[in-house]
């Protein structure tokens, strides 16, 4: 391992601990693969009430996350990242109080959609993300047609996300996810899929979808951290 850089990365995590662990592991692997010096990481695993399906819990969650951003400010981090898509409904507020760069996972994913010249993109996400159109609105702004799951698929996704959070997922869940997603792609003639909840990649087998662009939000966020270290 190379000597550490002067970069210090603050990670807001805990809203889905297993996804957060996956993000940290993925980021470390990308840093090692790029033969870069390792930065200091400060992982703040936040224990807050589930706001993924209940919008009434958003403001209390925002208050807690705001305090964590202030802690990162005091620790003089050089970048803050949030390993949760749904929590990005609070990103504008949180980034406004951050003293360091705080990239939006939503903007990063949309940027990749544009870069890859996608035209018909399906969004798989939590109930709150879908309700607030976190990805959908930004796709439309960039002249990309956005498609969201029907009611049955959305209900399935919400249950699946809960199972991943609680480490209760099984092979049947993964198979059903594959079946739902393939039908979703076929019905809407999609050329791209956004895994817009950080839990979903833990249940998604990318090898089964080699004929379509898969935008894994955590993977894209990890790449952003690597680019920050390079600077």
pLDDT(50) > 70:
no
What percent of the chain stands above pLDDT 90? Answer: 72
Strand extents, DSSP E, 16-150: 40-45, 79-82, 120-124, 145-147
Among 7-21, 140-154, 162-176, whose mean pLDDT is lowest?
7-21
Statement: residue 3 has pLDDT above 70: no
* 3-class secondary structure, 78: coil
- Contact (Cβ atoms closer than 8 angstroms) between residue 114 and residue 47: no
Burial 90-125 (b: 16+ CB within 10 A, else e): bbeebbeebebebbbbbebbbebbeeeebeebbbbb
In terms of C-beta density within 10 A (0-12 exposed, 13-18 middle, 19 or more buried), how is residue 200 classed? buried
What is residue 193's three-state secondary structure? strand
Compute the mean pLDDT over every residue in the chain, rounded to the nearest whole number.
91
Specify the higher pLDDT residue, 101 or 84. 101
Establish whether domains 8-104+219-230 and 106-217 are of one fold. Answer: yes
Over the stretch 113-165, which tens digit does the pLDDT of each residue have?
Answer: 999 999 999 999 988 889 999 999 999 999 999 999 999 999 999 999 989 88
Q: pLDDT grade, residue 18 (50/70/90)?
A: confident
Task: Inform me whether the pLDDT recorded for 61 exceeds 90.
Answer: no
Please list the residues that pair with 121 across neighbouring strands.
146, 192
CATH architecture of the domain with residue range 106-217: 3-Layer(aba) Sandwich (3.40)
| Radius of gyration of the chain from its Cα atoms, rounded to whole angstroms | 17
| CATH label, 8-104+219-230, candidates 3.10.450.50, 3.40.50.1860, 3.90.1150.10, 2.30.30.30 | 3.40.50.1860
Does residue 108 carry a pLDDT above 80?
A: yes
Helix (H) or strand (E) holding 12: strand 8-13
pLDDT over 50 at 1, yes or no: no
Domain residue spans in the chain?
Answer: 8-104+219-230, 106-217
Residue pair 170/162 in contact by the 8 Å Cβ criterion: no
Backbone angles phi, psi at 81, to 5 degrees: -130, 150
Q: 180-189: per-residue pLDDT in tens?
A: 999 999 999 9
């Amino acid at each position: 391992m190379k000597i550490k850089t002067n970069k210090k990365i603050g990670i807001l995590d805990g809203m889905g601990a297993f996804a957060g662990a996956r993000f940290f592991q993925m980021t470390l692997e990308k840093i090692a693969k790029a033969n870069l010096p390792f930065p200091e990481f400060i992982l703040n695993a936040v224990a807050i009430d589930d706001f993924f399906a209940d919008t009434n819990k958003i403001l209390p969650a925002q208050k807690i996350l705001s305090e964590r951003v202030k802690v990162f400010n005091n620790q003089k981090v050089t970048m803050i990242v949030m390993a949760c898509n749904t929590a990005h409904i609070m990103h504008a507020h949180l980034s406004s109080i951050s003293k360091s760069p705080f990239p939006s996972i939503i903007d990063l994913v949309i940027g990749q959609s544009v870069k890859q010249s996608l035209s018909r993109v399906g969004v798989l996400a939590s109930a709150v993300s879908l309700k607030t159109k976190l990805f959908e609105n930004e796709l439309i702004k960039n002249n990309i047609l956005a498609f969201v799951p029907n009611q049955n698929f959305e209900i399935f996704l919400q249950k699946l996300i809960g199972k991943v959070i609680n480490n209760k997922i099984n092979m049947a869940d993964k198979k059903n996810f594959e079946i739902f997603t393939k039908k979703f792609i076929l019905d809407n003639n999609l050329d791209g899929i956004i895994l817009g909840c950080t839990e979903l990649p833990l249940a998604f087998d990318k090898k089964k979808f080699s004929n379509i662009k898969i935008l894994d939000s955590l993977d894209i966020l990890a790449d952003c951290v690597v680019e920050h270290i390079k600077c």
